[in-house]
Structure 1
Amino acid sequence: MGDIEAPTSSQRSRSVLKSVLPSKEFATSRKGMLLIAEVALSFISFVCFAASEAAAFVTVPLLAFLATIFFLFAYSTKFNERFKGFCFPLMDFIRCVIASIIFFIISIMAVSKYSDGSSKAAGIFGFIATIVYALDFYLIFNELTGFLKQGGESNEEPSGQREDISDSDSD
């Protein structure tokens, strides 16, 4: 019988880690970098709010962190392509709009109402997160409008053929 070697614990941990972390090509893409920045900023903001007098606002960065982790995982594992029933770009757009608005509001409140250093830091990181989320929803919005201008059709059929067919029926 042939010798079959069981994987070592370090090989198993590397394979588990490789399946959980995003691939290098996704992490270096524009969407990957935005999602990683959103995860980092929402986590830093969560930690700052948890350590500050403005601890009442800790829920917002925590929920933004969890939602962004989900989308990072979904995009990096191509989970979004397997489920055609969900419109992932639209859900991602709504997530970014809500997160940017709420981060902006709580950042203003943290900076203006509280005087401790961690509240100020949470507010600053919240403002930076607002900018990153707003950039993400702007880019998603441009992609969605481009898709809607095409009428939701695939790129395989040129729009010129569709117009020729519709012109011949209008006799």
Structure 2
Amino acid sequence: MSEDRNKTTMEVDTAFLRSRRGILKLAEMVTLFVAFVCFAAASRPKYIAATALEFLITFLLLLLYMLKLNKRLTFFFWPLIDVFNSVFAAAFLIVLSLIALSTYTVKGTLGGGIVGLMSAVLLCADSVMLFKNITFNKPRNETINQGHK
């Protein structure tokens, strides 16, 4: 009976949070949250929505890796999805932050733009780190295990 209970419980991968990728994901979330707060203080709805959406996506990917759902939901190649998210989010945040910096009238927009650029740099680093780990000619389980280095 205890074996049946262990199969239904979720295992939390705390080692992921201590890994380079986990720390990078947490840093992305912190910078996205700070940018969100800055844009919210400046009352910029378009910027608020963009940073909140990317914060949510990053949080869900972090949750996916922490709960090891990427090993259960194998119909997607999660590292590649994470790379695409990081690349497109970085490009979007660079454009968004540059627009915020060039058109700011309130200090909150300036702060949000600067922190948004910092977040874009972290997203670029995440995409480079992930892309180095992805090799398309190895079996899937070897590629997934490399993501925790």
TM-score, normalised relative to structure 1:
0.71
| Map of 1:119 onto structure 2 | 109
Higher relative contact order (CA 8 A, sep 6+): 2
Q: CA RMSD in A?
A: 2.1
2:33 is the alignment partner of 1:47:
no
Gaps of 5+ in 1: 1-18, 157-171
Amino acid at match of 2:86: C
Residue 107 of structure 1 contacts residue 122 of structure 1 at CA under 8 Å; is this kept in 2?
Answer: yes
Amino acid at match of 1:139: M
Of residues 49, 65, 68 in structure 2, which corresponds to 1:75?
65
Gaps of 5+ in 2: 1-9, 143-149
Amino acid at match of 2:128: Y
2:76 is the alignment partner of 1:86:
yes
Distance 1:41 1:87 in 2: 26
Q: Report deviation, 1:153.
A: 3.5
Distance 1:108 1:83, change over 3 A: same
Residue 12 of structure 2 contacts residue 68 of structure 2 at CA under 8 Å; is this kept in 1?
Answer: no
Aligned length: 133
Q: Report deviation, 1:21.
A: 7.8
Which entry has the higher C-alpha Rg, 1 or 2?
1
1:58-112 deviations in whole A, cap 9, x for unaligned?
1111110000110111101111011111110011011101110111011101111
| Map of 2:24 onto structure 1 | 34
Of residues 57, 76, 81 in structure 1, which corresponds to 2:47?
57
